[in-house]
A and B are shown apart, each in its own frame.
Chain A
């Protein structure tokens, strides 16, 4: 059971959160100009790395904010949490 440091509320038990999958997936700005392949990539394809993974979580039973977490998928250690629009380690960030 993880303990996640909500950027607003501080450390809380995993049960208060919902998981949103990989972070920094950008919705194509012009879906009509997006090829079927690129759209499918946006919809379905995820990196699923062994190790450091940027992902979205929502403090669903708390402040209801979505935010980003960098978590190691092997050790489950959480390296960083940062708000939407904020800068994560290694320069990962949300679209402007």
Chain B
């Protein structure tokens, strides 16, 4: 096989079609192919904590439902012994190798899930309203601010939701398992119809 392998994001079929245009008050997009590592380990173990902190350039978030940013790497709290590390595209496997080496001899688990989930971005003034159609979480900025994340049920799919408000308005990221991505996208696009200019 001479040609280089072709990869495809889970939303290759629909994500390229702009279901919600720029004029709308809510926009949908996919951020595909980011590096994603699932890390499990014991924060009570100083060797584990030190090794991870050394590699990532900062500590793991230990406060439930929070996010830590170390340079271009984002780490999400998933559970008391579980994190999701998101890297820019292409940086996942290198980081995995480095982490694995640093953690040698320690009880931990590191799984590459880059192909197993993708990221949907919902932004615009009505982004929160759109998500609330399918999600029971309190998304008011008082209850869910930038820096927080939550695993929850959105349109029947388990998602990791975080808020990243930008200068131009609210922005939410949804990390979703690959097999649910198409359904979730269609659900959100359907709910977003209301926010489209006639």
Chain A interfacial positions (CB closer than 8 Å to B): 8-10, 12-13, 15-16, 61-65
The answer to the question of B158 belonging to the interface, with a C-beta cut-off of 8 Å to chain A, is yes
The reply on B49 being an interface residue by CB < 8 A is no
The reply to whether B153 and A61 form a contact with Cβ atoms under 8 Å apart is yes
Q: How many residues of B contact A (CB 8 A)?
A: 13
> Chain A: interface secondary structure?
loop
Q: Is the interface of B mostly helix, strand, loop or mixed?
A: strand
Chain A residues lying within 8 Å of B64, measured Cβ to Cβ, are 8-10, 63
Number of A-B residue pairs with CB-CB distance less than 8 Å in the complex they form: 38
- Give Cα distance in the complex from A12 to B139, angstroms: 12
Tell me whether A63 and B136 are in contact in the complex, defined as CB-CB below 8 angstroms, given that A8-B64, A8-B79 are known contacts.
no
A30 to B158, CA, bound (A): 38
Q: Does B137 contact A (CB under 8 A)?
A: yes
Listed in ascending order, the chain B residues whose CB lies under 8 Å from chain A are 64-65, 78-80, 82, 136-137, 150-153, 158
Set A9, A15, A16: member contacting B65, Cβ < 8 A: A9
**Chain B residue at minimum C-beta to C-beta distance from A8:** B64
Complex partner residue of B152 from A8, A62, A64, A65, CB under 8 angstroms: A62
Q: Cβ of B137 and Cβ of A12 under 8 Å apart?
A: yes
**Given A8-B64, A8-B79, A9-B64, A62 contacting B136 (CB threshold 8 A):** no
Q: Bound state CA distance, A9 and B66, in angstroms?
A: 10
Q: Which of chain B's residues has its CB closest to A64's CB?
A: B79
- Roughly how many angstroms separate A8 CA and B78 CA in the complex, as a whole number? 10
Note all chain A residues with C-beta closer than 8 A to B82: 63-64
Given contacts A8-B79, A9-B64, contact A63 B151 (CB under 8 A): yes
